[in-house]
């Protein structure tokens, strides 16, 4: 289960939100009654590209420790 502040990546194309697999963001809200999340996506400079509501099946939590090492 995902939680607020998790860093995630998109696993599928989401054309309506202009998101592609590999886009990275942080969860800013979890909907308690369904498997949906508000995610703030960032560009390669760390600036917000926008917030999108996505399903858990469209996201993959990233392990930042493995990305830094």
| Tens digits of residue pLDDT in 45-54 | 888 899 999 9
With 80 as the cut, is the pLDDT of residue 67 above it? no
Q: Per residue, what are the HEC states of 4-69? A: CCCEEEECCCEHHHCECCCCEEEEEEEECCCCEEEEEEECCCCCEEEEEEEEHHHEEECCHHHHHC
pLDDT (mean) for 1-29: 95
Closest CA to 53 of 62, 45, 2: 2
Q: Which has more pLDDT, 41 or 63?
A: 41
Q: What is the pLDDT of residue 14?
A: 95
Query: For the segment 28-41, what is each residue's pLDDT rounded down to a tens digit?
Result: 999 999 999 999 99
Domains and CATH numbers, the chain: 7-68 (2.30.30)
With 70 as the cut, is the pLDDT of residue 62 above it? yes
């Amino acid at each position: 289960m995902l939680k607020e502040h998790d860093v995630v990546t998109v696993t599928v194309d989401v054309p309506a939100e202009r998101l592609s697999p590999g886009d990275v963001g942080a969860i800013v809200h979890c909907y308690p009654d369904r498997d949906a999340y508000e995610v703030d996506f960032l560009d390669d400079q760390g600036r917000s590209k926008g917030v999108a509501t996505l399903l858990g099946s469209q996201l993959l939590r990233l392990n930042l420790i493995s990305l830094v090492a």
